[in-house]
């Protein structure tokens, strides 16, 4: 399971599993296991019977992989990278075991020309830089109408309207990965409009400036792959159809957002998005009553609400014969 929301993601799975009458084994990320162990202590304090919830810590190869292939594990629910999700699916397939997957994303946010730019800026920056970009649903591809896009004084569009704080990355490995994405974008011809490195006033720590990248083409790595860091790539569009085509130009399908004062247009775009979660005039709000999940390489299945409970239920058909008369299957059709 992922490390960026270890307790929340654990609760999203454990709560419906227990409510459905299942026992559960929770395998947290080896990078963030403590909160899930604390959850186990809470469950013990409130009287959950021994063995109903089990926390298994360890590395994926040692702990996670055996769970996915174990014959006594009836179902696997996973949140994490698409690469790891693919491996889990392959392992579970050997046992014809059901799985549900909430995986990566490269979500678009479309900003049309009829909006208040300050509000659009707030939602765009929040959608990408909230939680330091370390969230699978981050709207990290900004598609902005050419009518409100401009570059002036080293700033693009509405970027100058908001100051974003320095972003701390989770680990040294992720820090290096984010910087590598930025370097690759630059080498491929993109422009690092702002950010792109550790802040000059810091000499240590895994800090990355909020980074905005322009002059992006659809063939670039920064357009196609999930960064999982504070990096926003920007591309312009001229028509609604072009915006939709660019938004759907991704292997992922977790989230998507549209910012426009034309609600009929928002409705059209919402229906055209190939994504499991869509925001209108906002980005990232999440409600426990609403289904959460994606399509394509962002996974399948839904968490939260009644849909989350269904992940841990199986329909059984029961037929009762209520007459004393023989079934008479051996009689000819004429006699029946």
- What phi and psi values does residue 192 have, to the nearest 5 degrees? -85, 95
Give the model's pLDDT for residue 131: 87
| pLDDT band with cut points at 50, 70 and 90 for residue 219 | very high
DSSP 8-class letter at 198: S
pLDDT in tens, 239-266: 999 999 999 999 999 999 999 999 999 9
Give me the mean pLDDT over the 14-27 stretch.
96
Structural domains in the chain?
A: 6-102+304-310 (3.40.605.10), 108-280 (3.40.309.10)
Q: Where are the beta strands (DSSP E) in 255-321?
A: 255-259, 277-280, 299-300
Prediction pTM value: 0.90
pLDDT in tens, 40-69: 999 999 999 999 999 999 998 899 999 999
Residues marked active site are found at 102
User: Do residues 273 and 247 touch, judged by C-beta distance below 8 A?
Assistant: yes
Above 70 in pLDDT, residue 153?
Answer: no
CB atoms within 10 A of CB 106: 25
| pLDDT band with cut points at 50, 70 and 90 for residue 105 | very high
Rounded Cα distance, 136 and 256, in Å:
12
Rounded Cα distance, 173 and 152, in Å:
35
Give the model's pLDDT for residue 56: 95
Of 303, 19, 284, 317, whose CA–CA distance to 130 is shortest? Answer: 284
Above 80 in pLDDT, residue 198?
Answer: yes
Give the model's pLDDT for residue 167: 59
* DSSP structure string for 183-197: HHHHHTT-EEEE--S
Mean pLDDT, all residues of the chain:
90
Strand pairing report for 155-156 and 167-168 = unpaired
Above 70 in pLDDT, residue 33?
Answer: yes
Above 90 in pLDDT, residue 291?
Answer: yes
pLDDT in tens, 120-131: 988 999 999 988
């Amino acid at each position: 399971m992922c490390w960026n929301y270890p307790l929340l993601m654990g609760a999203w799975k454990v709560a419906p599993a227990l409510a459905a009458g299942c026992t559960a084994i929770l395998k947290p990320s080896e990078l963030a296991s403590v909160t899930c162990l604390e959850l186990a202590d809470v469950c013990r304090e409130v009287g959950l019977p021994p063995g109903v919830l089990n926390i298994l810590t360890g590395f994926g190869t040692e702990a996670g992989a055996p769970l996915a292939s174990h014959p006594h594990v009836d179902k696997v629910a996973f949140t994490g990278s698409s690469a790891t999700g693919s491996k889990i699916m392959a392992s579970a397939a050997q046992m014809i075991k059901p799985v549900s997957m909430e995986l990566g994303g490269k979500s678009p946010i479309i900003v049309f020309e009829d909006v208040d730019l300050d509000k659009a800026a707030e939602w765009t920056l929040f959608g990408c830089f909230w939680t330091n970009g370390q969230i699978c649903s981050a709207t990290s591809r900004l598609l902005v109408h050419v009518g409100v896009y401009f570059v002036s004084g080293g700033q693009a569009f509405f970027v100058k309207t908001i100051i974003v704080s320095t972003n701390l990355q989770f680990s040294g490995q992720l820090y290096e990965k984010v910087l590598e994405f930025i370097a690759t974008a630059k080498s491929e011809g993109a422009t690092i409009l702002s950010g792109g490195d550790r802040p000059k006033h810091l000499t240590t720590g895994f800090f990355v400036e909020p980074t905005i990248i322009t002059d992006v083409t659809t063939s670039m790595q920064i357009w196609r792959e999930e960064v999982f860091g504070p990096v926003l790539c920007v591309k312009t569009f001229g028509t609604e159809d072009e915006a939709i085509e660019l938004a759907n130009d991704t292997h992922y399908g977790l989230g998507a957002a549209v910012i426009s004062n034309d609600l009929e247009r928002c409705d059209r775009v919402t229906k055209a998005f190939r994504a499991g979660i869509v925001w209108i005039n906002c980005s990232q709000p999440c409600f426990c009553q609403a289904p959460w999940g994606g399509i394509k390489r962002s996974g399948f299945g839904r968490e939260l609400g009644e849909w989350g409970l269904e992940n841990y239920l199986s329909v059984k058909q029961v037929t009762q014969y209520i007459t004393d008369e023989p079934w008479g299957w051996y009689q000819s059709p004429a006699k029946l």
